[in-house]
Amino acid sequence: MSSQEGTASGQPSAPPRSRRRRIVVLLERWPFGRKLHLLVLVPVLVVTGMLTYVVQDKMAQARAASDSAALVRRSVSVATLVDDLQSEHRQALLLSVRHQAAESGAGEPSSIPYLQAQQRVDTQAGVVRETFGSLLPAAENEAIATIGGLTDLRQLIQRGYIPADNIDPTYSNLVEQLISGLGLGDSTTASRGSPEARLDALLGADAAHAAFETSVFGAQTGDSNALIEFLRAIGDHRSYDDRAARFKALSSEAQGALLDGIERASARKSIEDQFNALQVDPSSLQAQTPEELRTAIGLALKAEPVYAQQAEDRLKITHTLIYQVAAQADAASDTEWRHTFVLLGSAVVALLGWLVFSFLVRRSVARPVRILTAAARQVADATGKELARVADDESAETGPPRLREIPVPVRDEIGALAEAFNQVQSTASALLERQITVRANVEQMFGNIGHRVSNLASRQLDLIEGLEQAQTDPATLRPLYQIDHIATRLRRNAESLQVIAGKRQAAEDVDAPRPTGLTDVLRGALSTIGGYERVSLRPSAEVVVVPAAVNDLTLMLAELLQNGVFFSPTHTTVDVAVQVRLPAEGAVIEIIDHGLGMPAEQLAEENARLLRRERLDLAPTHVLGLFVVGRIARRFGIGVELSRTPGEGVTSTVTIPASLLLAADSVPAPPAPTVPYTPAPAPRTTPLPRPAQVSPTPSGSGLPQRVTRAAAGADGDTGEGTDANPSTDASTDASADTNAGAGTDAPPGTGKAGVTGAAADADADHPRTDDPRHDRGADSAGREHARDAGDAPAAGHGQHPDDEPRPLRRRVRGATLAPAAPRTTAAVSPARHPADAAEVRDELEDLEAATERARRDSARDRTAPGPQVSLTPEGPGNDGRLHDRPGDGRGAR
């Protein structure tokens, strides 16, 4: 379709609109600062351009005035040359008339005055060239060159008579060329005060008066052309009057009066009288006889000094006026330069003022914007710090940010923006403050929950232990042991909850009473996990852990062991290898499982999570265990790294620094228990189950390691126990008897069946510390680990020949110790029966209230801040896998 058709169809032209749209989009994309610069620079550039044009014009005028002054000053030589040329003209006329008189019998005239006049003209022509130099106009140069062309005329005049009408035009034209060659312009169209116009009028008046004088002189010679000279004199006088009037119009009155001095001179009066005499009878001007001619020539010769004097006076007046015009031109040039500099300075000052004003305006616009930007950055920094706190739960609490309010000096658009931003800022500050408060409340809530659950679990363990001590029936002890183990794991979960809430710190109330062996720490960790019977612990050189790190290290190892057991098949074992170099170099614990493992990307992510500080509300819920591990590791400087097990599975490498370890020989042995030995009652007629075995020497923590034979039937992470059937019990008992007789050390007096008084009392209550969590963890570690050690071989044997269950003897405290002194018999502790639930709850609430009151009272009495007593037992970690199942596949650990 043609363009005409497109226009006729009414479709708009797209390119112009598209171009305008692009320009608008481009301007919209410009930064705010660039737009302000544009608003400031565009007027500055426009004003600068206009001022530059005006200043350049003024500078051009100043240069022109300066050039005019120089030209006027140099034109003095031209005026002198014109006067000399008029004198030569007059001498030429006189010499020609004398040649005419000589033809009638007069003597030969002398040409010396004429030659002298020629010499003055040639000399002055050289002066003109020298004065102008390279600035000599081309027309003036041609006029001066024409003077050299007078040679032929001069020779003719010297040889004989030449009519005046042949002489006058040559000199008159040459004078006009000299004046016009200066390039002064037309004085009739020049402005008032123009130096060139005034100089042109002055030189024209001078030349016209000189021509008038020459014409009057020629009319008095009686030549045949005397009448023509008279008529030319009349014309030259009129020309003088016109030029003089123009000069007076362009000049001041004083200069006009000075020009009138040409006609007021004494010689001028004589010439004026002669001119008036010529006007009486113009027809008699031409001599009729030679005698009249000689008489006229004689009169002219007598009057020649008068004309010379008139020429001198006229030239003096002309030079004076020329110098005055030159001085005025210099003054005008100076004025123009002064005006130029004043204008330039004013322009610079105005431009600087405009720039300062523009800067102030720009600053008044940009400063609130910068303040808003700074406030926005402050809000961003505050929120960034809050995000850092969200990602770093171990940073110090600084409270809600205090954001500075932006001042609103004026009520304009930016002021409205500042007010709106102040509202946004206050809202953001309130939101952050509320978020901090909510987070603190949530942490406090979780800490209180963990504290309560931990206390309840500890008291539950005390109750369970009392029930265990009061029972001898294996059918009753089996679920009690399972409940004991579940309660231990529940307390570990409560301690993990405190770690998650950030309420568990290294304090005296969570430290172990004394250094504990690293093996005992591992056993304590095993006692708090499910599936501990699948863990294989390799012995190593013994070192002890400082009390401040015992409980936290136990919790951290429990989390790693739980992950290894939970994410590996049930038919595999989890190997624990301990490498102790030297106490000064630390120890390395490797927990090796052969389970599903993790992809390399997830492995790297989990290792990074162990190193960086991360809040729980940003971490996925299925990595709680590693979250607890990472926090404890960072607190004590323990290195934890996850790697792939050759084949399949994950290896957790724990590097304990030397600052947390002590040499085993540097720790004194714990004192022997002083509880008197209580002999067991007489055996029953019904065969009893084989009692638990206890290691003959106490562990590094001072706690006996209780080894029970009854299978607890651990349920993994679910905490659900299973009741063993009679056949299972029989096989378990048989296996336990075999293992006990073959490889277990027993106190003296123990038979193959292992049923002695000391062995029967192996499960009796042992000496306890003030911290129920410590002795419960260590005690449960030995008890549960030994139970599973007895269960594991049972899987590989048949049932024991003796299928009848055997009741357990009552456990007696200190029964497994080597006899060091005569023992005294003590009464058997009465059996403890479960109390009423409401009663127990009331007692617990009263205890918590009393503890809280004591904590507040002690806090008021302290003069210096110190660690506050908390109802929450501050212990590490969470299992981290309470909601995961092995069926989840290759899930995170």
Is 0.85 topped by the overall pTM?
no
Which domains can be identified in the chain, with CATH numbers? 56-349 (no CATH), 452-665+687-818+835-853 (3.30.565.10)
Q: In this structure, what token pair is assigned to residue 359? A: 């800067």
Tokens standing for residue 799: 């049932």
Taking only the tens place, the pLDDT of each residue in 158-215 is: 888 888 778 888 888 888 888 888 877 655 555 566 788 888 888 888 888 888 888 8
Contact between 222 and 198 (Cβ < 8 Å): no
- Kind of pairing between the strands at 535-537 and 639-644: unpaired
Give the helix/strand (H/E) hosting 241.
helix 226-250
| pLDDT higher than 70, residue 55 | yes
**Cα gap 856→868, rounded to integer Å:** 9
Alpha carbons 485 and 787: distance in angstroms, whole number? 11
Angle 628-633-634 from CA coordinates, rounded to 5°: 105
Q: Looking at 286-295, 354-363, 636-645, which range is the least confident one?
A: 286-295
Amino acid at 197: A
Residue 302: both structure tokens together: 């007598």
pLDDT tens digits for 247-260?
Answer: 888 888 888 888 88
**Best CA proximity match to 783, nearest among 482, 381, 580:** 482
Burial class (CB in 10 A: 0-12, 13-18, 19+), 72: buried
Burial 674-685 (b: 16+ CB within 10 A, else e): ebebbebeeeee
Q: Please state, for a pLDDT cut of 70, what percent of the chain lies above it.
A: 67
Q: What is the pLDDT of residue 436?
A: 77
Contact between 558 and 531 under an 8 Å Cβ cutoff? The reply is no
The span from the CA of 99 to the CA of 111, in Å, is 10
| CA distances, 476 to each of 527, 533, 724, 756, 808 (Å) | 20, 21, 12, 22, 11
Residue pair 236/275 in contact by the 8 Å Cβ criterion = no
DSSP E strand boundaries for 59-131 = none
Q: Give pLDDT tens digits for 328-370.
A: 888 888 888 888 888 888 888 888 888 888 888 877 777 777 7
In DSSP terms, 123 is beta-bridged to: none
Each residue of 798-844: pLDDT tens digit?
333 344 444 444 444 444 444 444 443 334 444 444 556 667 777 77
Burial class (CB in 10 A: 0-12, 13-18, 19+), 383: middle
In this predicted model, what pLDDT tens digit does every residue of 365-386 receive, in sequence order?
777 777 778 877 877 787 777 6
Strands 639-644 and 574-582: unpaired
Q: In the prediction, which pLDDT does 104 show?
A: 63
Given a cut of 50, whether residue 653 has pLDDT beyond it is yes
**Amino acid (one-letter) located at 813:** R
Q: Across all residues in the chain, what is the average pLDDT?
A: 71
Rg (CA), the chain: 66
H helices then E strands: how many in the chain? 22, 10
Q: Are 829 and 468 in contact (CB under 8 A)?
A: no
